[in-house]
Each structure stands twice: as C-alpha cells, then as structure tokens.
Amino acid sequence: MLLIALLVAAAAPVQTQAAMNQTAGSSYAQADAAMTAQWKRTYAYMKRRDAQDTSRGGGFGFAGSLLESQRAWLKFRDTQCVIEGGQYAGGSAQGMTIAACRTRLTRARTTQLKTMIWYQ
C-alpha cells in the first residue's frame, strides 16, 4: 500500500513557479474577459433605465453612477492585490499571488454586476 502511494505521488506532475504564474495569469485573463462582457451588459441596462425614467428630468443617473463605481472598484482591486502580493515581495510567488487575488475579486465583481440587472 505504501509503495502504491509513493508511485502515485512520484507520478504527479511537478509545476515550476513560472508555469504556476502563467496559469494564474490565464485565469485572471478569463475572469477579466467575463467581467468586461458583464460590464457591457449591465452598463447598457443602466443606460436604458436612465432613458426610460423621465420623471426626474433625464433619468436617475444609474449609468453614470455605475461608471464611477466601476472606476473606484478597479482601483480598489488593484491596490488590494498589491497588498496581498506584498507578503511575497520580491519573491517568485508575488506575481502569482497578485493574479490570484485579481481573479478572485474580479469573479466576485462579475457576480455583483449581474445582480445589478434587476429586471431581465
């Protein structure tokens, strides 16, 4: 039984830090593309809401507020991930940690953007 466990462990692929960094970067790129697509849908929805709401003389300002929110969120995400990556400052895992943080926060923002479309 021990021999089988050792053979299985020995057969597991060994990843280099460079490969892990690349994987983390690819995951972030996918998450960012998904967020960008959702952003476009949500922003278009907010613009339509503003156009439909004439009771306030030009709409509530959903689209403008969303744009401001997104800009602030991007700054938050990037700054937060620099902090998280700082635990490995100067080390080979710093880039991977920053990319993983960006992926996590970007996926959460994508979900948040989806929930802003109230009437589908």
6 belongs to a structural domain? no
In the 3-class helix/strand/coil scheme, how is 54-76 assigned residue by residue? CCCCCCCCHHHHHHHHHHHHHHH
Quote the distance between the C-alpha of residue 35 and its chain's center.
7
Which CA distances in Å does 1 have to 9, 13, 34, 35, 71? Answer: 12, 21, 45, 47, 56
Angle at 112 between CA 111 and CA 117, to 5 degrees: 100
Residue where the block lists tokens 């967020």:
35
Residue 110 sits in a domain of what CATH number? 1.20.1270
More confident site: 50 or 110: 110
10 belongs to a structural domain? no
33 belongs to a structural domain? yes
The count of domains in the chain is 1
The residue length of the chain stands at: 120
100 belongs to a structural domain? yes
Residue 1 has pLDDT above 90, yes or no: no
106 belongs to a structural domain? yes
Residue-level pLDDT at 2: 56
Domain with 24, as residue range(s), is 17-115
Name which of 57, 40, 38 is nearest 107 in CA terms. Answer: 38
5 belongs to a structural domain? no
Quick: pLDDT tens for 40-64. 999 999 999 888 877 766 678 999 9
64 belongs to a structural domain? yes
The rounded percent of the chain whose pLDDT value lies above 70 is 84
3 belongs to a structural domain? no
Quick: pLDDT tens for 64-96. 999 999 999 999 999 999 999 999 999 989 999
More confident site: 39 or 55: 39
* CB neighbourhood size of 31 (10 A): 20
